[in-house]
Amino acid sequence: MSTCSRSLPLDGLPRHSAPRAGIQNLVSIADWSRSDIEGLLAVADDIRCHPGEFAYSLAGTLVCTAFFEPSTRTRLSFEAAAHRLGAKVLCMGDTQSTRMGLGESVADTLRMAGYYADLVVARHASDGTFERLSGVLDVPLVSAGEGQCRHPTQTLIDLFTMRRHFGTLDGLRVGIVGGLRYSRAAKSLLAGLRAFRDVCIHVVDAVSDACHGSGPRPCLAQIAGTGVQEHACVADMLGLVDVLYVVRVQREQFQDAAAYQAQLRRCRVDSRLMRACGKDIAVLHCLPRGEELPEDMDGTPFNHYFRQAAAGVPVRMAVLQRYLGRFRRSTAAAWVGDRLCLDIAPAATPEASLAW
């Protein structure tokens, strides 16, 4: 156990300032209380069980996805979520087709998105961007991942997946494995788990060989908080955890192939290792994966990571519902021809075919 003290909130950044009057933004999971999280997870579960009943709850609204960094799951699942709630979607999947090539700022680009849509979902590579810019929008800004510290909706998905499997988050024993100091999903999860009681955290932290500026490398407790137990390799923690949350060992952070392979050996979670441990451990991964989670895990009962990825849709539906919801499902509204119909019957399909 490390002895370093923690001077920042668990996501490593100063706390998000109060939103402008009447505007709420989702920037950091550290801003959410236990009851905020539990309320959201309850709505997500309701949506998962009865998606047809929410099919028109955001009819007449427009969601803009503005991604200044690549994404597969987050963008697609937010857009799927918006469509499944009856909202329309404006999509900025990359910056190539915008005027950012002429030097237009992120602030002005997001400001425009806020003029044209009712809510903006955005991703950016730099820590603190949304804290700085959320005040320029007159509509809610929802982070789709930012820098190396914050990914609030990924954390909601992770907590939803764990709670669905275990029934509770209190008392859970969670192992986090991989390059967690470079992983916003891991750091955001650590912040989210702080809201629950008696959660034990074990980590294997893959540290790169790269030099990061002139200052000292932050110790694990500065990144993960105090009370976290560090282990030399994943095999050492298997007897102590209920969940293994794996993140990439980021090859791009290493200058030397041998150094990367050495860290990978500490963190790799494969079917031979998991079967040998003889325990029912739920393996999660925010994806995309690298060599730390080989495909031979996919067909095993330890695989909860695809279910976790699929849960992105109902959880993000619940997020959009929270920030935009105008119609309760009992008064769902939809245009049929030129008529606005209230209390329409839930769609008979496609609930049976959904993966959630």
Q: Which residues form the interface with ligand CP (CB under 6 A)?
A: 71-74, 145, 154, 286-288
Q: How far is the CB of 199 from ligand CP (least distance, A)?
A: 21
Q: Which CB, 238 or 318, lies closer to ligand CP?
A: 318
Q: How far is the CB of 54 from ligand CP (least distance, A)?
A: 23
Closest CA to 65 of 123, 107, 111, 19: 123
Q: Which CB, 28 or 74, lies closer to ligand CP?
A: 74
Q: Which CB, 274 or 286, lies closer to ligand CP?
A: 286
Q: How far is the CB of 282 from ligand CP (least distance, A)?
A: 17
Residues 6+ apart with CB under 8 A from 187: 10, 11, 12, 148, 149, 150, 180, 223, 224
Q: Which CB, 61 or 188, lies closer to ligand CP?
A: 188
| Other residues' Cβ atoms within 10 Å of the Cβ of residue 156 | 26
Q: How far is the CB of 9 from ligand CP (least distance, A)?
A: 21
Distances (CA, A) of 116 to 53, 61, 148, 265: 27, 11, 29, 49
Find out whether 142 and 25 touch, Cβ atoms under 8 Å. yes
Q: Which CB, 145 or 225, lies closer to ligand CP?
A: 145
Q: Which CB, 17 or 72, lies closer to ligand CP?
A: 72
Q: Which CB, 286 or 319, lies closer to ligand CP?
A: 286
CA distance 263 to 172: 26
Q: How far is the CB of 183 from ligand CP (least distance, A)?
A: 10
CA distance 293 to 16: 34
Cα 348 to chain centroid distance, Å, stands at 30
Residues 6+ apart with CB under 8 A from 252: none
Q: How far is the CB of 251 from ligand CP (least distance, A)?
A: 16
Q: Which CB, 125 or 262, lies closer to ligand CP?
A: 125
Q: How far is the CB of 124 from ligand CP (least distance, A)?
A: 13
Length of the chain: 356
Residue 231 DSSP code: -
Q: Which CB, 52 or 314, lies closer to ligand CP?
A: 314
CA distance 44 to 65: 20
| Other residues' Cβ atoms within 10 Å of the Cβ of residue 163 | 20
Question: Which neighbouring-strand residues pair with 283?
Answer: 244, 303
Residue 328: half-sphere exposure toward Cβ, Cα within 13 Å: 2
CA distance 77 to 286: 13
Q: How far is the CB of 89 from ligand CP (least distance, A)?
A: 16
Q: How far is the CB of 211 from ligand CP (least distance, A)?
A: 26
| H/E stretch holding 284 | strand 282-285
